[in-house]
Structure 1
Amino acid sequence: MNTGDSRTVIIEELALDTADHPTLFVDLTQLGSLDSLERKSSIVEEGSKYQMTIKFVVQGDSISDLKYIQVFKRQGIEIDKFEHMLGTYLPNEGLPSYIEKLPTEKAPSSELARGSYSVTSRFQDGDKKTHLEFKWTFEIASKRK
């Protein structure tokens, strides 16, 4: 961990697990990782289940009501919003990172649902302070036979 880092919440890793494709893993401690995530589209097969895992550190002060928010858009139009309360955390500098698994979701399953989606993800606390915001894309593809 960078001791000169003044952020209260440091998101270290993100993983998108699906049964049908290799896990998309992003090490946010690496320079340029968010840019790379935005440029590379993930594939989720229609009807498949997926789950996101978040690894993070809280430093300095405790954090209250940390939540993860995702806004899904297709062709520039907002079609869905997902919000998950992660919780309240004490500082854990020098201790193992917090690891949270979001609830398992199921991708839509229809010909109309297939295609590319843009997502804005945000980590925000109870005071509405944003600790990290980034964009990424994924594609819902037909099931392989």
Structure 2
Amino acid sequence: MSQQPASDDLVPTQTEGYKISEKKGIDELKNLDADDPSLAKWKNSLGLSHAEARFPNDKRMVVVQALVFQSGEHVIRMDVSSPEAIAKLQKNPIVIKEGVDYTFKIEFVVQHEVVSGLQFLQQIKRLGVTVEKMEEMCGSYGPKYENQEKTFPPSKAPSGMMARGTYTVKSKFIDDDKNVYLEWTWTMEIKKDWA
């Protein structure tokens, strides 16, 4: 049975008995059991041959680029690649039409080392009360020059007069080792229409 965090905490659920494996570097992983075909396939899926850093002067292993909201033809790309971009996002609420089906996608770059157990956590509050929490496992990723992405299962925006209004959203990107790669707060407004 898993331990559930307090309702206001934005922390990943801990599974009882789960132990994080020993961290290994890129070179160690490349040479590990070189004659094992299934392990070679797994290492290839991590992209260990593409270890060139996209941002060589940035020591972060995961650089989050954007959170993308999509509902049909309506796509809102929220740039979270810098503190300035996040500050701009915090000043400009995202408008969402009530009752629409939507998905979130996160775009990120992994560099320098393999990152295990990436998770995306999100908490939506209205008037200080949590109305939705999301915890999505993204998986493990090796370094890759290109953006990597993860799309989450669809959801439905609330609807009706009582649902319309301003919501505060706290989002977090974290791994198994509790490294927080980005945590930010933004605002969305549920309205009768997109404008």
- Asked whether the two chains share a fold, i.e. TM above 0.5, the reply is yes
What is the alpha-carbon distance in structure 2 between the residues aligned to residue 38 and residue 7 of structure 1? 23
What is the alpha-carbon distance in structure 2 between the residues aligned to residue 18 and residue 41 of structure 1? 17
Give the secondary-structure state (helix, strand or coil) at the position aligned to 2:163.
Answer: coil
Are residues 1:61 and 2:113 paired? yes
What is the alpha-carbon distance in structure 2 between the residues aligned to residue 23 and residue 137 of structure 1? 16
What is the alpha-carbon distance in structure 1 between the residues aligned to residue 104 and residue 134 of structure 2? 12
Query: Aligned pair count?
Result: 141
Deviation (angstroms), 1:143 = 4.7
Task: Give the ranges of 4+ consecutive aligned residues of structure 1 lying more than 3 Å apart after TM superposition.
Answer: 27-31
Give the secondary-structure state (helix, strand or coil) at the position aligned to 1:57.
Answer: strand
Q: 2:134 aligns with which of 73, 82, 95?
A: 82
Deviation (angstroms), 1:14 = 2.2
Aligned residue for 2:45? none
Are residues 1:128 and 2:172 paired? no
Aligned residue for 2:101? 49
What is the alpha-carbon distance in structure 2 between the residues aligned to residue 98 and residue 63 of structure 1? 12
Larger RCO, structures 1/2 (Cα 8 Å, 6+ apart): 1
What is the alpha-carbon distance in structure 2 between the residues aligned to residue 143 and residue 31 of structure 1? 30
What is the alpha-carbon distance in structure 1 between the residues aligned to residue 183 and residue 83 of structure 2? 15
Deviation (angstroms), 1:113 = 1.2
Q: 1:5 aligns with which of 39, 58, 61?
A: 58
Deviation (angstroms), 1:18 = 2.2
Are residues 1:113 and 2:131 paired? no
CA displacement, residues 32-66 of structure 1 (integer Å, 9 cap, x when unaligned): 11111111111111110111222111111111110
What is the alpha-carbon distance in structure 2 between the residues aligned to residue 71 and residue 29 of structure 1? 20
Are residues 1:24 and 2:55 paired? no
**Counting strand residues as a fraction of each chain, which structure ranks higher?**
1
- The unaligned stretches of length 5 or more in structure 1 are none
TM-score of the pair, normalised by structure 2: 0.66
- The unaligned stretches of length 5 or more in structure 2 are 1-53
Deviation (angstroms), 1:30 = 5.4
What is the alpha-carbon distance in structure 2 between the residues aligned to residue 143 and residue 32 of structure 1? 29
**Are 2:79 and 2:89, in contact at CA under 8 Å, matched by a contact in 1?**
no
TM-score of the pair, normalised by structure 1: 0.87
Identity %: 33
**Counting helix residues as a fraction of each chain, which structure ranks higher?**
2
**Are 2:68 and 2:105, in contact at CA under 8 Å, matched by a contact in 1?**
yes
